[in-house]
């Protein structure tokens, strides 16, 4: 009898259902101590590792303020003092989100963050950046003022020229509202969630010049 046979079935062979096998697959690749770690390598103390979390924090406020704006409607945030304030903080949150995301993107580019099997992590980050641009564009159209009206009818010609104007009607405020508060946030949130999970699976990318001793863990 071989050593493999004598050792009995492995952890992946204990499950007979697809749910059990899926749970085993997830636990092998993303155990709880990796999903919510207490320790991080010492190089994570650098400021360049802060901006990804900053982008997520700004996104949380953008979503929270967007829910308030969506529930009260355009008339509220055009005529109410509180509505003006919430609308302004929503805009400031978006600006912070893009600022943090661009710094995060460029920082990881110069660190070659696709190293060590992290190509999909890099790709999902780029997709999130593109999706956030489309989301911000639809939000700009929801200002329902002369600026948004002007850009909507300028964009209409461009979208018609590339053949997508039939199902993405930027002059239809109801359709734009659906894109901005439902479809794009769901897509963006799913991509960002996948991006964060991939970061947990592979770990944060070390600096190019990181030495072996820099990989020691320290509590945040």
Of 51, 146, 68, nearest in space to 103 by CA: 51
d(CA 214, CA 42): 6
pTM, 2 dp: 0.80
| pLDDT per position as a tens digit, 105-149 | 999 999 999 988 899 999 999 999 999 999 999 998 888 788 888
Domains of the chain, with CATH numbers?
A: 40-207 (1.20.810.10)
The set of long-range contacts for 6-11, using a CB threshold of 8 Å and a minimum separation of 24, is none
For the stretch 167-199, pLDDT in tens is 888 888 888 888 898 899 999 999 999 999 999
Mark out the alpha helices in the chain (DSSP H runs).
3-6, 18-29, 32-35, 51-72, 74-79, 81-110, 119-141, 146-161, 173-178, 184-202
Distance CA(44)–CA(186), nearest Å, equals 30
Interval 47-61: pLDDT, tens: 889 999 999 999 999
**pLDDT given for residue 211 in this prediction:** 58
For the chain, the first-to-last Cα distance in angstroms comes to 49
Distances, alpha carbon 159 to alpha carbons 139, 144, 165, 167, 209, in Å = 17, 20, 5, 10, 45
CB 170 within 8 A of CB 3: no
CB neighbour class for 163 (10 Å; exposed up to 12, middle 13-18, buried from 19): exposed
**pLDDT value of position 130:** 94
Structure tokens at 163: 């053949």
pLDDT of residue 154: 86
Sign of the Cα pseudo-torsion (5, 7, 10, 15, in order): positive
């Amino acid at each position: 009898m071989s050593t493999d046979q004598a050792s009995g079935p492995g952890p992946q062979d204990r499950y007979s259902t697809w749910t059990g096998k899926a749970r085993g697959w997830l636990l092998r690749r993303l155990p709880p101590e990796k999903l919510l770690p207490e320790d991080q390598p010492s190089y994570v103390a650098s400021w360049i590792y802060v901006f990804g979390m900053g982008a997520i924090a700004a996104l949380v406020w953008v979503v929270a303020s967007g829910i308030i704006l969506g529930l009260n409607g355009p008339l509220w945030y055009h005529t109410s003092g509180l509505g003006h304030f919430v609308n302004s903080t929503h805009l400031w949150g978006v600006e912070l989100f893009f600022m943090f995301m661009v710094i995060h993107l460029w920082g990881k580019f110069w660190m070659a963050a696709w190293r060590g099997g992290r190509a999909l992590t890099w790709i999902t980050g780029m997709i999130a950046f593109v999706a956030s641009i489309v989301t911000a564009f639809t939000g700009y159209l929801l200002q329902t003022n002369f600026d948004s009206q002007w850009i909507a009818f300028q964009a209409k010609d461009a979208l018609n020229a590339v053949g997508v104007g039939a199902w993405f009607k930027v002059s239809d405020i109801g359709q734009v509202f659906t894109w901005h508060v439902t479809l794009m946030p769901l897509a963006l949130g799913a991509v960002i969630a996948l991006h964060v999970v991939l970061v947990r699976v592979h770990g944060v990318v070390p600096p190019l010049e990181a030495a072996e001793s820099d990989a020691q863990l320290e509590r945040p």
